């Protein structure tokens, strides 16, 4: 027995010395705190000789633990707690702690922070000042980011505060452990063993989110089950809320409209029925008894088969306001989704949310915020910004992005979403003249709203690496950073992420960022170039299915979106078609009314254009379309080559996974290209432009492919 044990131990020691043992599984995300080189390590240590803090709250304990972990990992040393400021100390202080701060905290709110290199009694120290411990927490993560990315820690003079109040993840996690549109395994919420078993992963989830400024999480799927509002599930949510609270993260729940009927046998869910309102009020009271800082409700109503107030001939505002009254005494809010389209409405799907919601502007209670997807259809690789942004000045609107890449290659394609977020946030609605960006709509500055928010549909699951791939972690990261500061560029965020995730070595950061920055455009190219949309195959939305025309609802069929025929391709949304362009402010509507003035990237979204239409480049639409498909495939080949050259700098495990996934992406980009070209060629009847390779198979081959067990589709 002893001999066997010794043998085992020897094997373990050997394993820990082998290069493979240094491989990383991605669990640590961007908070790896890998040992810095000696020069860097000394620089960090000299700015962290001691940690001066006051207070013993759980938040302060979390801050101290994170700084210990960070400095410890980066330098191999420790950072000692100290009562007094000494040379090289990190001094964390709030005005409440009684300190007379040499840095003003006005304007930093309850979450912002200032970091400044100062001299205190002749000693150089780094002061991190904030109005609250949550501000200190965010500031500590900022300082750790500087330490991790190789930035200077000298002469710091940083002030940062979020403009958007609610920065939330939306989990589409089901109570049975599956995740709708989740590609990273099962749900991280172990509902079955909660509230008793509270695994360490929940704390690491909170750390990761706090490190990028996320301050709330909706735990369950918007396609909600009433059961999540029963006492046992409230207790489970409360257990999570307890873990997240020290990190400044509040818990929210999605609710099912008919919960009062399903759970307590009420005869109706009519929002104007006093019994229904009383039920929700009592339910809210019950939740707040368990979770005093509960954030509020998220609602998907009258959308894709979900029940809602319209079933009782009431409006979305009637429904939202009734729920808002229930949570208001507790300071809660209601996030009411505008993602609606009705099976009995023959109008262009892209118009329906605006048509339903615009007339309700000004009719929502003050603690209601309407949650609008970035585009009018559904998280496509590219969509023009949603026309509701800028069109409801009296109503706070929050953004809904999708971090999980339902339509962008899911877990295996490297398609960095930072550029998508940036493109949408910077889009100009012209609602109040030039410069009325979507970012200004959602941060409340354009129309003077105090309730502001941004949500991202999470890409998190129980996979060891959280997000299904290492590079998908970047989308979670970018969402948080850009929600905190909408003026950040996707490029800057990618740099930080690459430096923290792999190495601050420029030989790593530069090529990794280069791969990332063009990757979303490449997916647009090999999937839906020039404004095409929603031509994914049925159900799982993974591969191509432009030919699909047999689904029950017209707007579930790709042919509805591209309308390809012998003459041309694209959806006419001008006056001669659905006139969706009229939902935009006049300067945009005018620009979009003609193909010549429409940005080419959105051309087929707004116009049905002849195959022989000449683009600015002089190419015909058909040739340009094929060219874009080729570009997308070529880009993936370049990413593979770039990644292969990074082998010496990346640990074996993460290198191999990414290499393998890029191989999948290369194969599938070609599949997308070939299938789409074959299909569209069957309409255009035109030859491929010179130099463009013939697709590998005929149309029948692509049409016959089927993937009944693709993940994420529940």
Which residues sit at the interface with ligand GCV, rule CB under 6 A? Answer: 172, 180-181, 222-223, 300, 304, 339, 378, 406
Least distance to ligand GCV, CB of residue 473, Å:
22
| Minimum CB distance to ligand GCV smaller for 354 or for 611 | 354
What b/e string do you get for 520-532 counting C-beta neighbours within 10 Å, with b at 16 or more?
bbbbbbbbbbbbb
Residue 408 CA to residue 594 CA, distance in Å, equals 29
Write down the number of H helices and E strands in the chain: 21, 16
| Minimum CB distance to ligand GCV smaller for 318 or for 406 | 406
Nearest alpha carbon to residue 407 among 527, 557, 304: 527
Residue 46 CA to residue 48 CA, distance in Å, equals 6
Give the DSSP H/E element, type plus range, for residue 273. Answer: none
> What is the set of active-site residues?
304, 378, 406
Nearest alpha carbon to residue 683 among 579, 598, 575, 558: 558
Least distance to ligand GCV, CB of residue 300, Å:
5
| Minimum CB distance to ligand GCV smaller for 556 or for 649 | 556
* The two structure tokens encoding residue 69: 């972990």
Residue 417 CA to residue 20 CA, distance in Å, equals 31
Least distance to ligand GCV, CB of residue 553, Å:
11
Q: Strands, DSSP E only, in 491-594?
A: 568-569
Least distance to ligand GCV, CB of residue 655, Å:
33
Nearest alpha carbon to residue 30 among 447, 670, 467, 372: 467
Least distance to ligand GCV, CB of residue 180, Å:
5
| Minimum CB distance to ligand GCV smaller for 172 or for 611 | 172
| Minimum CB distance to ligand GCV smaller for 181 or for 250 | 181
How many Cβ atoms are within 10 Å of 397's Cβ, its own excluded? 28
Residue 592 CA to residue 255 CA, distance in Å, equals 38
| Minimum CB distance to ligand GCV smaller for 309 or for 695 | 309
Least distance to ligand GCV, CB of residue 303, Å:
6
Residue 523 CA to residue 694 CA, distance in Å, equals 20
| Minimum CB distance to ligand GCV smaller for 413 or for 449 | 413
| Minimum CB distance to ligand GCV smaller for 181 or for 495 | 181
* Burial class of residue 267 in the structure, from the number of CB atoms within 10 Å of its CB (0-12 exposed, 13-18 middle, 19+ buried): exposed
Least distance to ligand GCV, CB of residue 449, Å:
23
Backbone φ and ψ of 356, nearest 5°:
-75, -40
* Burial class of residue 388 in the structure, from the number of CB atoms within 10 Å of its CB (0-12 exposed, 13-18 middle, 19+ buried): buried
Least distance to ligand GCV, CB of residue 712, Å:
8
What 3-state class would DSSP assign to 585? Answer: coil
What 3-state class would DSSP assign to 499? Answer: helix
How many Cβ atoms are within 10 Å of 696's Cβ, its own excluded? 13
C-alpha 653 chain-centroid distance: 25
Dihedral sign from CA coordinates of 632, 350, 319, 310: negative
């Amino acid at each position: 027995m002893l001999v066997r044990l010794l043998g085992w131990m020897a094997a373990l020691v050997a394993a820990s010395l082998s290069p493979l043992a240094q491989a990383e599984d991605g669990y640590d995300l961007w908070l790896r705190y890998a040992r810095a080189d000696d020069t860097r390590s000394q620089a960090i240590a000299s700015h962290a000789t001691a940690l001066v803090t006051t207070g013993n709250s759980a938040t302060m304990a979390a801050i101290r633990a994170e700084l210990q972990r960070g400095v410890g990992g980066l330098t191999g040393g420790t950072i000692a707690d100290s009562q007094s400021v000494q040379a090289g100390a990190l001094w964390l202080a709030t005005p409440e702690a009684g300190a007379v701060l040499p840095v003003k905290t006005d304007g930093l709110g309850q979450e912002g922070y200032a970091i400044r290199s100062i001299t205190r009694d002749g000693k150089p120290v780094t002061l991190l000042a904030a109005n609250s411990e949550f501000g200190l927490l965010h500031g500590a993560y900022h300082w750790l980011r500087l330490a991790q990315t190789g930035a200077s820690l000298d002469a710091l003079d940083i002030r940062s505060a979020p403009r958007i109040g609610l920065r939330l993840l939306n989990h589409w996690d089901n109570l049975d452990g599956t995740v709708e549109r989740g590609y990273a395994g099962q749900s991280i919420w172990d509902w079955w063993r909660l509230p008793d078993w509270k695994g360490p992963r929940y704390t690491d989830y909170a750390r990761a989110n706090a490190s990028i400024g996320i301050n709330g999480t909706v735990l369950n799927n918007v396609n909600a089950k009433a059961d999540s509002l029963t006492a046992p599930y409230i207790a489970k949510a409360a257990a999570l809320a307890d873990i997240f609270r020290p990190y400044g993260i509040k818990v929210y729940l999605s609710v099912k409209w008919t919960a009062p009927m399903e759970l307590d046998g009420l005869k109706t869910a009519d929002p104007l029925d006093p019994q229904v309102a009383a039920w929700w009020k009592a339910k809210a009271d019950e939740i707040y008894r368990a979770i005093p800082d509960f954030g509020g409700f998220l609602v998907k109503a009258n959308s894709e088969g979900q029940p809602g107030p319209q079933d009782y001939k009431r409006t979305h505002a009637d429904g939202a306001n009734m729920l808002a009254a229930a949570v208001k005494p507790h300071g809660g809010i209601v996030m009411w989704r505008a993602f609606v389209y009705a099976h009995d409405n023959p109008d262009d799907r892209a118009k329906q949310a605006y048509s339903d919601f615009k007339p309700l502007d000004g009719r929502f209670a003050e603690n209601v915020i309407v949650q609008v997807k970035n585009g009018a259809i559904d998280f496509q690789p590219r969509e023009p910004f949603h026309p509701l942004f800028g069109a409801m000045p009296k109503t706070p609107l929050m953004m809904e992005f999708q971090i999980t890449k339902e339509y962008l290659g899911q877990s295996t394609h490297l398609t960095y979403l930072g550029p998508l977020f940036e493109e949408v946030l910077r889009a100009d609605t012209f609602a109040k003249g030039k410069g009325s960006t979507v970012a200004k709509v959602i941060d409340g500055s354009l129309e003077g709203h105090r309730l502001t928010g941004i949500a991202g549909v999470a890409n998190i699951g129980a996979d060891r690496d959280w997000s299904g791939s290492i590079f998908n972690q970047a989308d979670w990261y970018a969402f948080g950073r850009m929600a905190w500061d909408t003026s950040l560029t996707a490029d800057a965020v990618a740099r930080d992420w690459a430096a923290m995730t792999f190495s601050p070595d420029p030989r790593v950061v530069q090529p990794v960022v280069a791969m990332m920055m063009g990757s979303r455009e490449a997916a647009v190219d090999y999937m839906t170039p020039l404004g095409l949309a929603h031509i994914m195959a049925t159900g799982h939305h993974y591969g191509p299915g432009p030919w699909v025309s047999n689904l029950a609802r017209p707007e579930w069929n790709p042919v509805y979106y591209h309308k390809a025929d012998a003459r041309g391709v694209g959806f006419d949304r001008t006056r001669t078609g659905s006139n969706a362009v009229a939902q935009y402010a006049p300067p945009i509507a005018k620009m979009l009314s003609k193909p010549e003035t429409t940005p080419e990237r959105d051309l087929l979204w707004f116009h049905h254009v002849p195959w022989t239409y000449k683009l600015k480049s002089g190419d015909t639409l058909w040739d340009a379309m094929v060219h874009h498909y080729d570009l997308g495939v070529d880009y993936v080949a370049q990413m593979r080559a770039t990644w292969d050259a990074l082998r010496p700098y990346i640990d074996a495990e993460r290198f191999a996974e990414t290499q393998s996934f890029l191989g999948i992406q290369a194969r599938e980009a070609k599949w997308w290209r070939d299938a789409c070209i074959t299909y569209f060629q069957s309409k255009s009847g035109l030859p491929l432009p010179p130099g463009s390779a013939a697709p590998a198979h005929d149309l029948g081959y692509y049409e016959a492919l089927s993937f009944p067990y693709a993940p994420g589709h529940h």
